[in-house]
């Protein structure tokens, strides 16, 4: 007598587990050098140095954005490709295009991680890291444009994510500009912009966790 097959929820969690666990190793390799830099700087000259505090904030922002990218990608691919009824709900889709967009974003945020210790300014308070973070957050508009041209069924999902990221960029840029206009240094203004990104991203991560748990409970 054959054993009972696992429930759909159990099968789906298992699939996600197998496809996502490699992320731990990739993240460790990507962030090894930035972590080493921040740890060395934390030891000397120490946390009292404003640039060291800024580097810690930059590292936190990169980690949060990576975490949000991984969570959103997992949820998106689960909904659009992995669920049993995904083909019916999303008849027009392209795994290669969605995958390449995720790869593009990962490469941009990886590039940002390499300039955590770079304190030059491009324009005003805008550092190379903040610029790359903005590129990372706005890259979804390219994905959205392609999805609309190809008339993908997942356009509403991509659109919500792209708009959400654009809001983060706008609010962050306004906060940094206000801080600079109020007489703060470029370091403080840049830190203010990054704090806004960190706070909103942390909230978005919380909402993504809720979305994962809601999807599991309704499976």
Residue 5 has pLDDT above 60, yes or no: no
**Does any domain span residue 2?**
no
Q: Rounded to the nearest 10 degrees, what angle do helices 155-181 and 50-77 cross at?
A: 170
Q: DSSP letter at 154? A: T
Query: Under a CB-based contact definition with an 8 Å cutoff, are residues 158 and 144 in contact?
Result: yes
Mean pLDDT, the chain, rounded, equals 83
Q: Is residue 181 part of a domain?
A: yes
Q: Indicate whether 182 belongs to any domain.
A: yes
Q: 2-6, 63-67, 154-158 — which is least confidently predicted?
A: 2-6
**Is residue 83, in this structure, part of any structural domain at all?**
yes
Please state at what angle helix 50-77 crosses helix 95-113, rounded to 10 degrees.
170
- Residue at 192 is within a domain: yes
pLDDT band of residue 155 (cuts 50, 70, 90) is very high
Of 118, 97, 31, nearest to 66 by C-alpha is: 31
In a domain, 1, yes or no: no
The Cα–Cα gap between 118 and 128 comes to: 7
Residue 18 has pLDDT above 60, yes or no: no
Tens-digit pLDDT profile for residues 19-62: 555 565 666 666 666 666 666 666 666 666 777 888 889 989 99
* Residue bearing tokens 């955590």: 116
Please write the tens of the pLDDT for every residue from 116-127. 888 888 888 899
Report the C-alpha gap between 216 and 135 in whole angstroms: 32
Give the global pTM. Answer: 0.83
User: Could you give the angle at the alpha carbon of 211 between the alpha carbons of 73 and 198, nearest 5°?
Assistant: 70
83: pLDDT strictly greater than 50: yes
As a whole number of angstroms, the distance between CA 118 and CA 109 comes to 15
* 3 domain residue, yes or no: no
Percent of the chain whose predicted confidence (pLDDT) is above 90: 47
- pLDDT of 200-212, one tens digit each? 999 999 998 888 7
> How high is the pLDDT of residue 149?
96
- pLDDT surpasses 90 at 139: yes
Residue ranges of alpha helices (H) inside the chain are 8-20, 22-30, 32-43, 50-77, 86-89, 95-113, 128-138, 140-149, 155-181, 186-217
What is the separation of C-alpha 14 from the centre of its chain, rounded to a whole number of angstroms? 23
pLDDT in tens, 163-176: 999 999 999 999 99
Classify residue 59: in a domain, yes or no.
Answer: yes
Show the domain range for 125: 8-217
Number of domains in the chain: 1
Per-residue model confidence as pLDDT tens digits over 171-200: 999 999 999 999 988 888 999 999 999 999
């Amino acid at each position: 007598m054959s054993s009972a097959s696992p429930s759909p929820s159990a099968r789906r969690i298992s699939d996600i587990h197998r496809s996502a666990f490699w992320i731990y190793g990739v993240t460790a390799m990507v962030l090894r050098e930035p972590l080493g830099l921040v740890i060395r700087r934390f030891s000397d000259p120490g946390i009292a140095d404003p640039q060291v505090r800024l580097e810690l904030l930059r590292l936190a922002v990169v980690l949060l954005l990576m975490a949000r990218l991984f969570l959103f990608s997992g949820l998106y691919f689960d909904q659009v490709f992995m669920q049993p009824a995904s083909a019916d709900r999303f008849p027009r889709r392209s795994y290669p295009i969605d995958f390449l967009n995720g790869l593009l974003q990962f490469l941009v945020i990886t590039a940002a991680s390499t300039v955590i210790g770079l304190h030059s300014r491009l324009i005003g308070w805008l550092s190379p890291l903040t610029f790359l973070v903005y590129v990372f957050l706005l890259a979804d508009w390219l994905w959205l444009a392609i999805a609309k041209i190809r008339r993908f069924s997942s356009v509403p999902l991509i659109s919500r994510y792209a708009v959400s990221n654009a809001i983060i960029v706008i609010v962050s840029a306004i906060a940094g500009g206000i801080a600079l206009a109020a007489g703060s240094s470029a370091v403080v203004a840049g830190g203010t912009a990054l704090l806004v990104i960190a706070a909103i991203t942390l909230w978005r991560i919380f909402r993504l966790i809720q979305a994962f748990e809601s999807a599991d409970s309704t499976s």
